[in-house]
Amino acid sequence: MKKILSLAIAVFFLTTAPSWASVTIDFGALNLDHYTPIDTLYNSGVTFETINGNTFSYIPVTNDDHPEVQGIGSTHPLFGAFQATLDVTASFVSVDIGDTNLDDDELFLEVFDINNNSLGYAHKHIDSGFIGLETLSVSADGIAYAIFGGGRDANGQMTGDLSTVMANNFTFEQTIPAPGAIVLGAFGVGIVGWVRRRGLI
C-alpha cells in the first residue's frame, strides 16, 4: 500500500512543479537598419535603451571569419551601457557581449529588482586581440531590469573606458506554473486523502 501513497505523492509534486519560459532576443533577426540611430527598442517584452540617453544602433557582421560579432552598440563615443527593462520579473538573464580586437574591454552584466536593489553581477575582461562575444549570465529571483555593456571592472566600478562594445542574444527566463498545475495538484491531494480514509497506510 505504501507504493500507492508514493505514487500519489509523486503525481502531486510532478504536476505542480514550476516550469520556465525562456525568451531570447536575437537583434540580427529583427531586420534593423544598419548604423541607424535608435533611442529605444522594444521587443518580446523588453525595452532597451542606453543608461546615459545616447542613441544606439544595430552593428552588422564586419568580420567574415567571426559572423557572431554583431549586435546593438552605441553610435556615440561616450557609450556607457544598456538598460533592458522587462515587462515581467525574471529569474535568469544572460547576454552576449564582445568586440573586434580594437582595445581592451571590461564587459559586465548587473541585474536589479523593482526597487533598484542589485541582485547579481557578472564580469569578463577581454584583451585587445579578442574577436567575438562572451556570454554573461546572472540568476536571481525577482529580476526587473538589467544593465550591461562595457566599462566596469570586476568590482562594478567605472573604469573610464567607455568604448563601444556589441551585445546580442539577450535572454531571460521567468518561472511560470505548469499547465493545469492547480487542477492536477488538487487531484494529487485527493488521492492522498482517499488512501488515508481507506486505511491503506
pLDDT at 42 over 70: yes
CA distance 178 to 161: 45
Q: Give the number of residues written for the chain.
A: 201
CB neighbours (10 Å) of residue 177?
Answer: 12
**Are the CB atoms for 150 and 107 separated by under 8 Å?**
yes
- Type of residue numbered 137: S
State the pTM of this model. 0.78
pLDDT tens digits for range 110-155? 999 999 999 999 999 999 889 999 999 999 999 999 999 988 888 8
DSSP H or E segment with residue 9: helix 2-16
